[in-house]
Chain A
Amino acid sequence: MGDILKVFGLQWGPFLAQVIIILIVYLILSKYAFGPVTEMLEARRRRIAEGEEGLKKIKSDLEQAEERVQAMLDKANDDAGRLINEARESAESVREQKVQSAINEANQIVEKAREASRIEHEKVMSELKADFGRLVIGATSKVSGKVLDDSDQKRINEEVAGQVSL
């Protein structure tokens, strides 16, 4: 046994020195490497978990917000449709009123024009009758050589006016 130990060089000095070296590495790595690294990994794992939770909450909030936005959009669309219909109806009503008003105005203008034309026509006709009466009286007095008195002129005028019906 002793020979075997000698062949392999097993001695208390080197053995204890190696034990001390291993313990030093073990303690220092535990304190300055594995400890901080595992803490950092754990902290990062927690942050990732919190991030995941936050992400879920954000996603949920986003879905709710989208639903709210969609509801608002639907409501806005409905309101817009309703307003458009109301505007269309209102515009139709105004148009009808305007058209009716224009028709009335046009009718009044036409009526006025027709009345003015009639008055003018009657005026022209009476002047024409008067002129024609004077012509007949003048012609009658020249043909008969008789001076026509007022009653004759009146009678002739009435006869001429009765015969002239333009």
Chain B
Amino acid sequence: MDFILSLSITDSIYPLFAAGLAPGALPGLGWFTNSIFFALIVTASVLIFTRMATKRMETIPGKKQNFVEYIVEFLYTQVESIVGHHVAPKVFPLLATIFIFVLASNWAGLIPGVGTVGFAGGEEYMSGPLTIKADAGHAEHHGEDTHGAHGEDNADHSPDEHHIAPFTPLLRPPTTDLNFTLALACVFMIVWAWVTFKEVGIKGFIEHTFAPKGGLEGAMKWALLPIFMLVGVIELISIAARPVSLSLRLFGNVFAGETLLHSMMALGKQLGLGGVPMFIASVIVPLPFYFMEILVGVLQATVFALLCAVFVKLSTAHEEAH
């Protein structure tokens, strides 16, 4: 199969969807997926901007410093209002990182070309406005690596199954990759555990989870103890499920948004339009959804960070109360 770099928007109906739920490996780079590549770009952008803004901190701030200070102060106020004055300094850096990184990733996914420019393998992708035929060496890699995220499983796929994801975007928003969202959730859970055990201790955490609450004493306390123990077990299960729920929620929402945008781009083609009308439709139709996705990007970043803050609050509330 030839390997081509194609601007596939006019030929593909659902480029990202066609790429599948899994991120695609870049040709010849093994497990180095397009989402890792784009995560590095987003990381570099965020770090360069913040470094530029905070390199020379001045009492009377410039525009960039002022912007960063506004964001940091706003986030800190929000985090402090949820987790409390005492815990806020410990968890603020992570929660702010989560919010900024997720927001930057979500919005970066809306840049034209992200998720639509990539490597295509099928014939239907080979006639886009920008099509570059790769050399034979790359063609060799395509068969092995463009579906690298699927791993060795590709070897067992039938030709039809291969055809399901013939397109690998060059840039894939990290939040449309479950590896990223799960990594984010896992990092948070590790920090959450560290902060919780540091604040209330292991004994305090066990008491907080299993011990009868509400100041019960005497026979009533012992009578209700089994119920509270059962509630504690359920609580532990819910804690264990948090990384899954956090990561799947973010992944699902952003992936759905990307897919929606690409569907709207391809609506003209779906309706049988051709030439200029199809091109105009591919530009005009997705516009309202772009604005919606801008809001969804903020919303999902907020939800993720907010839930993390609430989880911290729930586990350290006992300590804060004192």
Interfacial residues of chain A within 24-54, with CB under 8 A of chain B in the complex: 24-26, 28-30, 32-34, 36-41, 43-44, 47
What's the least CB distance linking A113 to chain B, in Å? 94
Of the listed stretches A7-15, A86-94, A125-133, A146-154, name the one at the interface; the rest are far from the partner chain.
Answer: A7-15
Interface hits, B18-70 → A, CB 8 Å: 20-23, 30-33, 35-36, 39-40, 43, 46-47, 50-51, 53-54, 57, 59, 61, 68-69
Indicate whether B258 reaches chain A with its CB closer than 8 angstroms: no
Q: Which of B35, B59, B73, B100 contacts A29 (CB 8 A)?
A: B100
Q: Does A18 contact B (CB under 8 A)?
A: yes
CA distance A38 to B68 in the complex (A): 10
Interface check B92, CB cutoff 8 A: yes
Size class of the B contact interface (CB-based, 8 Å): 35 or more
Interface pair A18/B36, CB less than 8 Å apart: yes
Q: How far is the CA of A26 from the CA of B47 in the complex (A)?
A: 10
- Contact residues, B74-118 vs A (CB, 8 A): 76, 92-94, 96-97, 100-101
Please indicate the chain B residues that have their CB under 8 angstroms from the CB of A15 in the complex: 179, 182-183
Question: Which residues on the B side are within 8 Å of A9 (C-beta)?
Answer: 20-23, 33, 149-150, 177-179
- Nearest CB of chain A from residue B292's CB, rounded to whole Å: 25
Partner of B31, one of A11, A25, A34, A47: A11
Tell me if A6 is interfacial: C-beta within 8 Å of chain B.
Answer: yes
Interface of B, secondary structure class, is helix
B149 partner, pick from A11, A30, A43, beta carbons under 8 A: A11
* Cβ contact within 8 Å between B187 and A19: yes
Point out the residues of chain B lying under 8 angstroms from A8, CB to CB.
21-22, 178, 251
The distance in angstroms between the C-alpha atoms of A152 and B59, with both chains bound, is 136
CA distance in complex: A28, B97 (Å): 10
A11–B251 CA distance with the chains assembled, in angstroms: 16
With a cutoff of 8 Å between Cβ atoms, the chain B residues found around residue A11 in the complex are 31, 149, 151, 179
Chain A interface mostly helix, strand, loop or mixed? helix
A-B contact count (CB 8 A): 128
Verify if B135 is at the interface (C-beta below 8 Å from A). Answer: no
Query: Is B153 positioned at the interface, with any CB of A under 8 Å from its CB?
Result: yes
Residues in B whose Cβ lies below 8 Å from that of A38: 72, 76, 92
The reply to whether A19 and B186 contact each other, CB–CB distance below 8 Å, is yes
Q: Is residue A99 within 8 Å, beta carbon to beta carbon, of the partner chain?
A: no
Does A1 touch B at the CB level, under 8 Å? no
The answer to whether A28 touches B47 (Cβ under 8 A) is: yes
Q: Which of B68, B69, B96, B179 has the most CB of A within 10 A?
A: B179
Interface set of B (CB-CB < 8 Å, partner A): 20-23, 30-33, 35-36, 39-40, 43, 46-47, 50-51, 53-54, 57, 59, 61, 68-69, 72-73, 76, 92-94, 96-97, 100-101, 149-151, 153, 174, 177-180, 182-184, 186-187, 251
Q: What 9 pairs between A and B have smallest CB-CB spacing? A: A9-B22, A13-B31, A18-B183, A9-B149, A30-B93, A33-B50, A14-B179, A19-B183, A8-B178
Beyond the given pairs A37-B68, A38-B72, 20 more chain A to chain B contacts, judged by CB atoms under 8 angstroms and listed by A's residue number, are A9-B150, A11-B179, A14-B23, A14-B177, A16-B183, A17-B31, A17-B36, A18-B36, A21-B40, A22-B97, A22-B180, A25-B101, A29-B97, A29-B100, A32-B50, A33-B51, A33-B54, A38-B76, A40-B61, A41-B69
Where the two chains meet, the residues of A that have a C-beta atom closer than 8 Å to any C-beta of B are 6-11, 13-19, 21-26, 28-30, 32-34, 36-41, 43-44, 47
